[in-house]
Amino acid sequence: MRTLFLAERIIDEDVYNEWNQKAKAAALCIEGRDEEVDRVNELIETELELIGSTAIEDRLQDDVVNTIQFMKQVGIKVWVLTGDKIETAINIGISCGLLDSNMKQHLIDETTEKDLKVVLK
């Protein structure tokens, strides 16, 4: 299930405008953009009141499992590059038959913008 929590906070226009300037500057950062955007978002995402949540079943499209299994059986190499969290990508890979326990997995986890950590599993 993919979940989304909904929350609100009433702020005055001056607070928003000050935060919005910082958010625009963070989005334009060349180095460390993701970290800076996260830092600026944390400035405004405080004292929120939870007003609801949603959950959506994230199912595979029809015939994905059969198609991937067929491609593997006829010798087609299948690679997946995703921006999902590693755990999510692995779970999807297992559920669609792309991954199995006999495979070598190469997990690349970005730790900083300059360093990439490669983990062989």
pLDDT for 7-19, tens place per residue? Answer: 999 999 999 999 9
Dump pLDDT digits (tens) for 48-104: 999 999 887 767 778 888 888 888 889 888 776 666 777 877 888 888 888 877 877
8 Å CB contact between 27 and 33? yes
How buried is 13 (Cβ within 10 angstroms: 0-12 exposed, 13-18 middle, 19+ buried)? exposed
**Strand, helix or coil at 53?**
strand
User: What's the pLDDT at 78?
Assistant: 76
User: What's the pLDDT at 59?
Assistant: 74
Q: With bands split at pLDDT 50, 70 and 90, how would you rate the model's confidence at 28?
A: very high
8 Å CB contact between 40 and 23? yes
More confident residue, 102 or 36: 36
Question: Measured between alpha carbons, how far is residue 54 from residues 3, 4, 7, 87, 103 in Å?
Answer: 6, 5, 12, 21, 35
